[in-house]
């Protein structure tokens, strides 16, 4: 391994030596040679311990042209140019620095800083991209007022966008024009943005509760305007919701969203000028699935909500990332729940948490919601910071209640508007507003790992009591061997044998009639005695997934089947099905009994679900789906991924056979000719129909092939067409449909991403060779993260059978791609490298091969810190 930078430690935080009041930026845009002029109004920070400290500005890949201090040109020995720093000693307490810099946006393939995509200019500055644009104190606790003047060729770049309000514009010589933007709110550099190019707009107005008129604008490439209506409607819905639910209004004249196809993540909340991956903007029923529509709604809302939780109140340092991300994810989840189906939303969020965050917490990159150290901050935009962070906020919400939470956020904004703060400040506002003590609760921010909660229930016939004994334990994680007990809200109910909910009265209390309540666990082991219970109840535990834990209760299979039929809490009802199926699949895997038929009890329970119409179809669809291989993997050691895949596949086939008739009946009942609309009700029916189709596709019958063919040919929407194509993708003879689809959609990049993604998930022999071939398809590009994710990341992290093929070719392929990408885009390379994270958990022969590939990557000279951090931590797990 090679020399690498030192990790940054949370406890090393010191305030910046200087503050910046104002920044005036001027960009002379040229693809290969952009000139950036920056005028900084600086003053010493009284909070810094050393009153003569030098000014150390950050900068990467910049060519310095000149520096002026208070109008006077600095000579070369007035400053020191380091690798990524520019140091100026002995500055006066107040001064003005003017720095001219040259950068090359065209060759910037990292998609961080200023870059060119499809001939247009875009920026991405979070977390540390601004230093790739100009020299700056590139840290979030330096908040300044920005103005931006953009100068560019009028023909090639007719549209010039910046943060804040457009205040002036004009024309210059050589066919150039300029626009000046002023952002009245002070902000950290990571929220800076600029866009220039040939773009068109879909615009609307929104009037805030206090009567302010806001322009809502979505900027896209010509030809895409018709695909922006859903994003626009989502933005307006988010604006109304934030007023209603949190009392938060928009604060500028214009709210802009710009879509770009080359983008590292989902979207970015730059002040007044959000920049989005096209995937989260563009949708028409023919091109986008229900899942895509849903994703757009929540990402648009997420970025909009950042205007308060992230921008107006920002993070003091990057260790506090979850301050804005956990809270904003919580807010977007609540928004989606309020405008759609709360139950479906909750189950979906829990599935994501378990599939992405639980493995993270159990693996080599485990870190607390507020991490203690990092090598590369980009590696910490994780499921832990986002999804677990949201669960932590949700637990506070559960503890203080709906109104208490609103009191807490009101106080938070009152105290901290315009400031860069910490997670402690957020928790303090919640605690103070509700007059409670959250000291123990804060362990959720500092301890990594997923706690396990073990519950036992004892019924005492004579005393008419039901006693729950609850133990909690959090396993050791890298750097944290011992854990303290958490404060865990445990929501529960008790059902009698008829399915009725029993009043929950703890010993010493009087009956209030409540049948669902939240216990607060605080100790490693404690006991709760429920009184007045007249028969042995079935507990319904962790209702609504009240805490991000793994819960064990020794349910009999019959009790799970009972809860599937009766639990009034939709999450708990789904969870009963999930627990039953997980248990069954793990048993079959362990006993090598993969090919036994589905148990009669399960077939009967599923048949009941398929033939009733009391329960929301969307929920039934979720209950019928088998737990994913990634989820099952977590519960095993020395895993043989191929066998795991086969066991799951065999159960699916057996269920399809046993349930053929009710599946066909449900399919036919839900197959509708009603024109497509994206709404929770239609989407729910489509999801059940397509789950039925997915099972039926396991049956090799002409009748089913016909059904698939019809759905593929006649669908008026992408949800149905793609569901049929996904089935063909796994079948002999499916290639003609894949070819047909490609010829139809070859010019639509987002649709082609789906096509790449399907093939990356293929079960059929030769899947890896196919993926390799597809890398030379004209629609594929290694420089485009969406393409890389669809084809390569999907194969390496979700095609368990082929990625883990015994010949090891899947591993070699992944390592080769990590190395190739590392030179192009380290952030994307590092994310792909995480596909090796579970290497210590597979059986020994695969483990050896995975380790060898990890070592090969780690040895590569010049490896980025991004990838180095991931692979070195992964290798560390084997020590």
Q: Point out the residues that are catalytic.
A: 303
Q: Which residue has the tokens 């959720």?
A: 444
Restricted to residues 226-265, the positions that interact with ligand TRP (CB under 6 A) are 264-265
* Least distance between Zn ion and beta carbon 491 (Å): 27
Query: Per CB under 6 A, does 829 bind ligand TRP?
Result: no
* Least distance between ligand TRP and beta carbon 189 (Å): 13
Q: Residue 18 forms beta bridges with which residues?
A: 44
Q: Quick one: which of 99, 114, 239, 268 contacts ligand TRP (CB under 6 A)?
A: 268
Token duo for residue 577: 């099905």
In angstroms, rounded to a whole number, what is the distance separating the alpha carbons of residues 342 and 70? Answer: 58
Q: Residue 460 forms beta bridges with which residues?
A: 465
268 binds, among Zn ion, ligand TRP, none (CB under 5 to 8 A by kind): ligand TRP
Query: Per CB under 6 A, does 381 bind ligand TRP?
Result: yes
Neighbours of 556 (CB within 10 A): 9
Cis peptide before 18 (omega within 30 of 0): no
In angstroms, rounded to a whole number, what is the distance separating the alpha carbons of residues 17 and 50? Answer: 7
* Least distance between Zn ion and beta carbon 325 (Å): 5
Buried b / exposed e across 77-104, counting CB within 10 Å, b at 16+? eebeeeebebebeebeeebebbbbbebb
Binding residues for Zn ion (CB under 5 A):
325, 328
CB 140 within 8 A of CB 131: no
Q: Which residue has the tokens 């596709």?
A: 697
Token duo for residue 252: 């500028």
242 binds, among ligand TRP, Zn ion, none (CB under 5 to 8 A by kind): none
Binding segment for ligand TRP (CB under 6 A), chosen from 123-131, 357-365, 533-541, 837-845, is: 123-131
Pick between residue 325 and residue 629 the one whose CB is nearest to Zn ion.
Answer: 325
DSSP string, 250-261: --SSEEEEEEES
Binding mask 278-317 toward ligand TRP (x if CB under 6 A, else -) reads ------------------------xx--------------
Token duo for residue 158: 């007719």
Pick between residue 24 and residue 325 the one whose CB is nearest to ligand TRP.
Answer: 325
Q: Quick one: which of 24, 58, 98, 126 contacts ligand TRP (CB under 6 A)?
A: 126
Sequence-ordered alpha helix ranges (H) in 591-678: 600-611, 617-624, 629-633, 641-658, 660-670
Q: Which residue has the tokens 């303090």?
A: 428
120 binds, among ligand TRP, Zn ion, none (CB under 5 to 8 A by kind): none
DSSP letter (8 states) at residue 130? G
Binding segment for ligand TRP (CB under 6 A), chosen from 120-128, 391-399, 609-617, 743-751, is: 120-128
- Exposed/middle/buried for residue 675 (C-beta within 10 Å: 0-12, 13-18, 19+): exposed
546 binds, among Zn ion, ligand TRP, none (CB under 5 to 8 A by kind): none
Q: Quick one: which of 58, 128, 141, 269 contacts ligand TRP (CB under 6 A)?
A: 269
Pick between residue 8 and residue 603 the one whose CB is nearest to ligand TRP.
Answer: 8
> Total binding residues for ligand TRP by CB under 6 A?
12
Query: Per CB under 6 A, does 267 bind ligand TRP?
Result: yes
In angstroms, rounded to a whole number, what is the distance separating the alpha carbons of residues 673 and 689? Answer: 13
Query: Per CB under 6 A, does 830 bind ligand TRP?
Result: no
Residues for the chain: how many in total?
Answer: 879
Pick between residue 180 and residue 271 the one whose CB is nearest to Zn ion.
Answer: 271
Token duo for residue 352: 């994501």
239 binds, among ligand TRP, Zn ion, none (CB under 5 to 8 A by kind): none
CB 825 within 8 A of CB 789: no
* Least distance between Zn ion and beta carbon 332 (Å): 8
CB 756 within 8 A of CB 780: yes
In angstroms, rounded to a whole number, what is the distance separating the alpha carbons of residues 124 and 276? Answer: 10
* Least distance between ligand TRP and beta carbon 818 (Å): 19
Pick between residue 268 and residue 623 the one whose CB is nearest to ligand TRP.
Answer: 268
* Least distance between Zn ion and beta carbon 553 (Å): 35
Pick between residue 264 and residue 357 the one whose CB is nearest to ligand TRP.
Answer: 264
671: left (phi over 0), alpha (psi -120 to 50) or beta: beta
In angstroms, rounded to a whole number, what is the distance separating the alpha carbons of residues 125 and 759? Answer: 34
* Least distance between ligand TRP and beta carbon 623 (Å): 31
Q: Quick one: which of 34, 38, 45, 124 contacts ligand TRP (CB under 6 A)?
A: 124
* Least distance between Zn ion and beta carbon 309 (Å): 9
Pick between residue 262 and residue 325 the one whose CB is nearest to Zn ion.
Answer: 325
DSSP letter (8 states) at residue 515? S
Binding segment for ligand TRP (CB under 6 A), chosen from 124-132, 353-361, 656-664, 852-860, is: 124-132
In angstroms, rounded to a whole number, what is the distance separating the alpha carbons of residues 518 and 532? Answer: 18
149 binds, among ligand TRP, Zn ion, none (CB under 5 to 8 A by kind): none
> For ligand TRP, which residue has the nearest CB?
265
720 binds, among Zn ion, ligand TRP, none (CB under 5 to 8 A by kind): none
Rounded to 5 degrees, what angle do the CA atoms 168, 172, 177 make? 55
Pick between residue 325 and residue 634 the one whose CB is nearest to Zn ion.
Answer: 325
Q: Quick one: which of 183, 317, 325, 501 contacts ligand TRP (CB under 6 A)?
A: 325
Closest CA to 266 of 199, 351, 332, 364: 332
First to last CA, the chain: 15
* Least distance between ligand TRP and beta carbon 423 (Å): 16
In angstroms, rounded to a whole number, what is the distance separating the alpha carbons of residues 83 and 86? Answer: 8
* Least distance between ligand TRP and beta carbon 126 (Å): 4
875 binds, among ligand TRP, Zn ion, none (CB under 5 to 8 A by kind): none
Closest CA to 869 of 463, 325, 367, 461: 367
Pick between residue 126 and residue 317 the one whose CB is nearest to ligand TRP.
Answer: 126
* Least distance between ligand TRP and beta carbon 314 (Å): 11
Pick between residue 356 and residue 803 the one whose CB is nearest to ligand TRP.
Answer: 356
Pick between residue 325 and residue 376 the one whose CB is nearest to Zn ion.
Answer: 325
862: left (phi over 0), alpha (psi -120 to 50) or beta: left
DSSP string, 396-413: HHHHHHHHHHHHHHHHHH
In angstroms, rounded to a whole number, what is the distance separating the alpha carbons of residues 102 and 692? Answer: 58
Rounded to 5 degrees, what angle do the CA atoms 183, 185, 191 make? 75
544 binds, among Zn ion, ligand TRP, none (CB under 5 to 8 A by kind): none
234 binds, among Zn ion, ligand TRP, none (CB under 5 to 8 A by kind): none
Residues contacting residue 732 through CB under 8 Å, at least 6 positions apart:
764
* Least distance between Zn ion and beta carbon 328 (Å): 5
Binding segment for ligand TRP (CB under 6 A), chosen from 95-103, 235-243, 267-275, 364-372, is: 267-275
658 binds, among Zn ion, ligand TRP, none (CB under 5 to 8 A by kind): none
Pick between residue 380 and residue 836 the one whose CB is nearest to ligand TRP.
Answer: 380
CB 690 within 8 A of CB 723: yes
124 binds, among ligand TRP, Zn ion, none (CB under 5 to 8 A by kind): ligand TRP
Binding segment for ligand TRP (CB under 6 A), chosen from 10-18, 266-274, 409-417, 720-728, is: 266-274
401 phi and psi, to 5 degrees?
A: 85, 170
* Least distance between ligand TRP and beta carbon 331 (Å): 12
Binding segment for ligand TRP (CB under 6 A), chosen from 119-127, 366-374, 455-463, 691-699, is: 119-127
Footprint of ligand TRP on this chain (CB under 6 A)?
124, 126-127, 264-265, 267-269, 302-303, 325, 381
């Amino acid at each position: 391994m090679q020399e690498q930078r030192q990790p940054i430690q949370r406890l090393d935080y010191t305030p910046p030596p200087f503050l910046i009041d104002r920044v005036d930026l001027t960009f002379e845009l040229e693809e290969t040679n952009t000139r950036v002029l920056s005028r900084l109004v600086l003053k010493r920070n009284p909070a810094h311990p050393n009153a003569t400290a030098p000014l150390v500005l950050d900068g990467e890949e910049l060519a310095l042209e000149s520096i002026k201090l208070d109008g006077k040109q600095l000579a070369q020995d007035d400053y020191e140019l380091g690798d990524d720093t520019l140091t100026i000693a002995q500055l006066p307490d107040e001064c003005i620095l003017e720095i001219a810099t040259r950068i090359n946006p065209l060759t910037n393939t990292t998609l961080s800083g200023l870059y060119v995509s499809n001939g247009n200019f875009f920026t991405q500055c979070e977390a540390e991209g601004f230093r790739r644009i100009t020299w700056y104190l590139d840290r979030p606790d330096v908040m300044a007022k920005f103005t931006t003047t953009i100068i560019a060729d009028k023909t090639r770049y007719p549209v010039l966008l910046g943060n804040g309000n457009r205040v002036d514009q004009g024309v210059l010589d050589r066919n150039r024009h300029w626009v000046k933007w002023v952002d009245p709110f002070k902000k950290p550099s990571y929220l800076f943005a600029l866009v220039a190019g040939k773009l068109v707009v879909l615009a609307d107005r929104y009037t805030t509760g206090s009567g302010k008129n806001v322009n809502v604008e979505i900027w896209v490439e010509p030809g895409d305007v018709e695909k922006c209506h859903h994003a626009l409607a989502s933005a307006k819905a988010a604006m109304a919701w934030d007023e209603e639910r949190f009392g938060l209004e928009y604060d500028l004249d214009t709210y802009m969203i710009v879509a770009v196809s080359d983008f590292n993540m989902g979207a970015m909340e730059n002040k007044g000028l959000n920049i989005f991956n096209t995937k989260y903007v563009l949708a028409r029923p023919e091109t986008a699935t229900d899942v895509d529509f849903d994703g757009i709604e929540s990402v648009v809302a997420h970025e909009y909500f950042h205007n308060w939780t992230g921008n107006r109140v920002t993070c003091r340092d990057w260790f506090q990332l979850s301050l804005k991300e956990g809270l904003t994810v919580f807010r977007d989840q609540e928004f989606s729940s309020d405008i759609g189906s709360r139950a479906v939303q909750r189950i979906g969020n829990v599935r994501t948490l378990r599939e992405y965050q639980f493995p993270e917490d159990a693996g080599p990159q485990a870190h607390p919601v507020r991490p203690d150290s990092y090598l590369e901050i980009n590696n910490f935009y994780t499921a832990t910071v986002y999804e677990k962070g949201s669960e932590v906020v949700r637990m506070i919400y559960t503890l203080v209640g709906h109104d208490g939470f609103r009191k807490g956020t009101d106080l938070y904004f009152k105290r901290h508007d315009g400031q860069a703060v910490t997670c402690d400040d957020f928790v303090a506002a919640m605690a103070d507003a509700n007059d409670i003590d959250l000291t123990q609760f804060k362990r959720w921010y500092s301890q990594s790992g997923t706690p396990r909660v073990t519950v036992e229930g004892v019924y005492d016939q004579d005393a008419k009591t039901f006693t729950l004994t609850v133990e909690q334990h959090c396993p050791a994680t890298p750097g944290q061997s011992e854990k303290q007990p958490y404060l865990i809200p445990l929501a529960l109910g008790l059902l009698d044998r008829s399915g009725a909910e029993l009043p929950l009265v703890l010993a010493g209390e009087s009956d209030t009639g409540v049948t669902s309540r939240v216990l607060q666990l605080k100790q490693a082991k404690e006991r709760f005695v429920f009184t007045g219970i007249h028969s042995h109840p079935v507990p319904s535990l962790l209702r609504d997934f009240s805490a991000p834990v793994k819960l064990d209760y020794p349910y009999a299979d019959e009790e799970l089947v009972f809860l599937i039929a009766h639990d009034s809490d939709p999450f708990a009802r789904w969870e009963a099905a999930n627990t039953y199926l997980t248990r069954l699949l793990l048993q079959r895997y362990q006993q090598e009994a993969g090919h036994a038929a589905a148990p009669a009890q399960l077939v009967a329970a599923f048949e009941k679900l398929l033939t009733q119409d009391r329960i929301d179809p969307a929920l039934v669809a979720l209950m019928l789906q088998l737990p994913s291989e990634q989820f099952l993997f977590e519960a095993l050691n020395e895993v043989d991924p191929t066998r795991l895949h086969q066991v799951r596949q065999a159960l699916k086939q057996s269920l399809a056979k046993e349930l053929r008739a009710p599946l066909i009946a449900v399919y036919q009942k839900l197959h509708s000719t009603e024109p497509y609309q994206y709404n929770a009700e239609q989407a729910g029916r489509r999801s059940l129909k397509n789950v039925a189709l997915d099972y039926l596709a396991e049956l090799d019958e002409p009748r089913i092939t016909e059904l698939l063919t019809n759905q593929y040919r006649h669908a008026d929407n992408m949800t149905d067409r793609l569901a049929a194509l996904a089935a063909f993708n796994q079948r002999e003879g499916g290639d003609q449909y894949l070819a047909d689809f490609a010829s139809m959609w070859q010019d639509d990049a987002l649709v082609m991403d789906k096509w790449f993604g399907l093939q990356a998930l293929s079960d059929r022999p030769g899947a890896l060779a196919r993926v390799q071939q597809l890398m030379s398809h004209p629609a594929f590009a290694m420089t485009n993260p969406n393409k890389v994710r669809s084809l390569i990341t999907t194969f390496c992290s979700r095609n368990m059978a082929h990625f883990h093929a015994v010949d090891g070719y899947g591993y070699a392929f992944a390592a080769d791609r990590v190395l190739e990408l590392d030179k192009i885009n380290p952030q994307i390379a590092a994310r792909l490298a995480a596909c090796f994270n579970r290497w210590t958990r597979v059986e020994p022969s695969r483990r050896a091969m995975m380790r060898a590939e990890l070592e090969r990557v780690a040895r590569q000279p010049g490896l980025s810190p991004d990838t180095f951090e991931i692979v070195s931590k992964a290798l560390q797990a084997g020590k």
